[in-house]
Amino acid sequence: MSPLTRGRADTATRAPTHEMEVYYGQRAGAGLIISEGVAISEQGYGWQGSPAMYTEEHAAAWKHITDRVHSKGSKIVMQLWHTGRQSHSSFHNGAPPVSASAIRLEIGHARTVDYSEAPYETPRELSVDDITAVVEEYRRSAELAKLAGFDGVEIHGANGYLIDQFLQSVTNHRTDRYGGSFENRARILLEVVEAIQTVWPSDRIAVRLSPNGAFGGVGAPDNADMFEYVAERLAAYGLAYLAIIDAGGFLGFHGKCRPITTFDAKKAFKGVVIANGSYTRDTAEGALRSGSSDLVAFGRLYISNPDLAERFQNDWPLNPSGPSEAYYGHRLLGKPLGYGYTDFPAFQSS
């Protein structure tokens, strides 16, 4: 099961709720669950209702979820998330969001702490000292994930969030050792990997990349070469896996260079590659049989089908897709946390 931001955490404490424990337990048939994005710090927070992991209280709340998933024989990995310029100052006592460079996201809109729409803001460029602090925040969050009973961590380097903002030339105009060349733009990601290696063994650390996506105002002409370089560099660490989001689907395709396929990533990474992006059961089986990927993750199908793996195995029909507001619109509609979340039924034979 791939990461799905659903906005059901406690908005005051940013800790996971009991409803989230039920939700993840319902979907434990996936075998491996990659959690929704989890904010590594106050600075990295940017989506109201999303959970965090930067205090021991957060870890204690997450422990209920990992225990529930483990009791059903499944594994769960925590996705480490810093939203970067996609955040809003209302989450940070008026301080601007941060990024690789002071380049404003011009497409779409932010949502503020009270769920209202607002233009994206010009972020503050992180200093070298700031970057050192951010790397430590990733390490500390990974340490708390271990305390909470997770089976590993995934570094969110995709979808135009902070790590991706450093990787992509369209959002990184720096002239210091974190900008310019492929080596420099990849530096923060590799520093985060190495910091987390002090907490977790390499085979419990993973990375997610989206070289093809347009979400978050990213996509650059040099992406094909850049992301092959990143995959080659990551190969040296012996990581658990590299998750790649295919072109098209939910994130769109930026169209500024050739797409990076999962097979391209597999050749460069030389390890386990997880494909993600609008797959059906049949197209996923085709990808596995072709050898272009080792695993395929499903996201949106899991929203309305908590027993998706069992439905695939038994050839049972799928539930209809949930409404668009199932992602997080329950708050806008004044609905309970479980609306469009834990109320989708498992299959029952007639």
Query: Within the chain, where are the H helices?
Result: 18-26, 56-71, 128-147, 162-167, 182-196, 223-235, 262-269, 281-290, 300-304, 308-314, 330-333
Compute the distance between CA of residue 96 and CA of residue 322 in angstroms, rounded to an integer. 34
Listed residue (291, 241, 286) closest to 264, CA to CA? 291
3-state secondary structure 213-242: CCCCCCCCCCHHHHHHHHHHHHHCCCCCEE
Catalytic residue (one of 120, 161, 241, 339): 161
Contact 109, 120 (CB under 8 A): yes
Compute the distance between CA of residue 101 and CA of residue 122 in angstroms, rounded to an integer. 9
Compute the distance between CA of residue 287 and CA of residue 293 in angstroms, rounded to an integer. 6
Q: Cα separations (Å) of 78 from 114, 240, 341?
A: 26, 13, 19
Listed residue (105, 109, 132) closest to 119, CA to CA? 109
161 catalytic per annotation: yes
Altogether, the residues listed in the chain come to a count of 350
| Chain position carrying tokens 């197209």 | 283
Looking at the DSSP assignment, which residues form a beta bridge with residue 209? 157, 244
Catalytic residue annotation: 161
